[in-house]
Amino acid sequence: MGILYAGPYAHDLNADTVHEGYAARLMPDGTLSSGWSTDPDWPPHVGLVGACSCGWRAERVHSPGDLDGPEYQAAESDFEAEHLGPLVDAAAARSWPDWAARTISWANETAIHIAAGRPHDARYVLDLLRDDLNHRINIADELAEERDWLGTVTDQTANLLGRHDSYGRPFRHVTNPTQVAAPAPPPPRDPPPRGRGR
């Protein structure tokens, strides 16, 4: 079995094509094979390459290696860093705007059905909207859990390193805002003298 993304944006990522990554055996004729065998008659491979079920393959060729050896793991890492990571980032970036546009469209469609006297059609669209909203709630819950876990791990690491100012972010596409120290308040002024006014 290969590498499958199972995070919050899995549905968005795999909507059109499933992306299952693996360390492919590079054969002498340049083709890739996902198969492995201990059979001595099995054809030898000349390298290992990160690859995906969608047809993507990494440029980097690693030395021939064994199943689960360092070269195998390096090829899998190429898939994760060069192909899967950018796909997850792109899915995360478009997921919420696409949902918002879809929700507005379905709400408008529901209103049109009701105005036209088609309540059954409106109910069908509302069911789609409800199911999509439940899916979005699950995604938000997963993101919160991921964020909480990452914060806990980061806090523990910071404590081990003696630092308390490093808080991680679960997604690379969301940047940390620049931390700016607030200026110190001005020193208090002496109260104006009491006495006669001008």
Please give the pLDDT value at position 180: 35
Q: Which of 31, 57, 88 is the last residue of a domain?
A: 88
Q: Are residues 23 and 64 in the same domain?
A: yes
In a domain, 194, yes or no: no
Closest CA to 99 of 150, 50, 66, 136: 136
In a domain, 116, yes or no: yes
Q: Give the pLDDT confidence of 22-32 residue by residue, as tens digits.
A: 999 999 998 99
Q: Which of 58, 88, 118 is the last residue of a domain?
A: 88
Under 8 Å between Cβ of 92 and 171: yes
Q: Are residues 31 and 79 in the same domain?
A: yes
Q: Are residues 73 and 102 in the same domain?
A: no
Q: Which of 45, 70, 88 is the last residue of a domain?
A: 88
Q: Are residues 103 and 67 in the same domain?
A: no
More confident residue, 145 or 82: 82
Determine whether 126 is exposed, middle or buried from the number of CB atoms within 10 Å of its CB (0-12, 13-18, 19+). Answer: middle
In a domain, 185, yes or no: no
More confident residue, 148 or 100: 100
Q: Give the pLDDT confidence of 165-185 residue by residue, as tens digits.
A: 333 333 333 333 333 333 444
How large a percentage of the chain has pLDDT more than 90? 52
Decide if pLDDT at 76 tops 90.
yes
Determine whether 193 is exposed, middle or buried from the number of CB atoms within 10 Å of its CB (0-12, 13-18, 19+). Answer: exposed
Under 8 Å between Cβ of 11 and 132: no
Domain count of the chain? 2
Q: Give the pLDDT confidence of 32-48 residue by residue, as tens digits.
A: 988 877 777 778 889 99
Q: Are residues 119 and 157 in the same domain?
A: yes
Averaged pLDDT, 136-159: 76
Q: Are residues 61 and 128 in the same domain?
A: no
Please give the pLDDT value at position 38: 72
Under 8 Å between Cβ of 10 and 20: no
Q: Are residues 27 and 103 in the same domain?
A: no
Q: Are residues 53 and 20 in the same domain?
A: yes
In a domain, 190, yes or no: no
Domain hosting 56: range is 3-88
